[in-house]
Amino acid sequence: MTNISSTTRIIDLSSLYSQKKRFNRSEIRLLKKASRQSGGSALGLIHPLYCKPLLSRPDKISENYFIQQGISESSYSSYLYQIEGYLKNTLEPVFIFAPPGERPGIEAWIKNLRSANMVVLLNTKGDDPVPGFDIEMDERKSWQILANILRKSKISLLKLAGEIAYVEGMDEKGCVYYAFTRLSPFLSVEIIPHLTYPNLKVSLHSCK
């Protein structure tokens, strides 16, 4: 089992692409090294720990289209156990997509795992997985920069996991998957079903 706390490296996406609109070559080089160790694959973790605070607030679950039903303490614990086990046993770089308010909890969680991953934190716009930067730019530009980072880092496969939903009417793998498949013709995208939660279908309008 890989469990080397000294090699855990958490960086912010903005450190890869600065306000001077330049890529940070040294950070990209480290990301490329991590990618090479994993054979060109990376993990894209969408909103990890999103459901955790809602377990004690059933009133909030009923208000939230994202997880309208089906979550429980036992099923969530099982999901979390599996995803933590995966992180501890892979050398893949990990891209975590989460809104700013969830960042402190996620950072503490990752550090506590003592894994050997290189972790890139990406601020998102609320529940939308669009990557955010310190610089004002439209969504299309944000996606383009992320695609360039993956290309420069020699990442050719992005595995999606985390707390994402499947969407009726668009694609059986969901709107998050659909968005990532459009990043680059040279990037393969797949979902790791047992590392997603709670695997519910939500209406199409909820994911626009």
Residue with tokens 């992180």: 87
The whole-number pLDDT of residue 83 equals 92
Give the pLDDT confidence score for residue 54 in this predicted structure. 73
The pLDDT value recorded for residue 197 is 83
Q: Exposed/middle/buried for 183, CB within 10 Å: 0-12, 13-18, 19+?
A: middle
Q: What is the pLDDT of residues 85-138, one digit of tens each?
A: 999 888 899 998 888 788 888 888 988 887 767 888 777 766 666 666 555 666
Q: Which residue has the higher pLDDT, 25 or 132?
A: 25
**Which positions ≥6 away from 163 have C-beta within 8 Å?**
46, 47, 48, 49, 50, 51, 66, 67, 196, 197, 198
The 10s digit of each residue's pLDDT in 35-94 is 999 999 999 998 888 878 777 766 665 555 455 556 777 888 899 999 999 998 888 999
Q: What is the pLDDT of residues 131-187, one digit of tens each?
A: 665 556 666 777 888 888 889 899 999 999 988 766 555 556 767 787 788 888 889
Q: Looking at this protein, which amino acid is placed at residue 11? A: I
* Enclosing H/E stretch for 120: strand 118-125
Contact in structure between 191 and 154 (CB atoms under 8 Å): no
Q: What is the mean pLDDT of residues 19-32?
A: 76
The answer to whether the bond into 48 is cis (omega within 30° of 0) is: no
Task: Give residue for tokens 């086990």.
Answer: 85
Helix (H) or strand (E) holding 110: helix 103-113
Looking at residue 126, what is its pLDDT? 61
User: What pLDDT sits at residue 154?
Assistant: 93
Sequence ranges of the domains in the chain: 5-207
Taking the C-alpha atoms of residue 103 and residue 187, their distance in angstroms, rounded to an integer, is 27
In angstroms, the CA 165 to CA 174 distance is 6
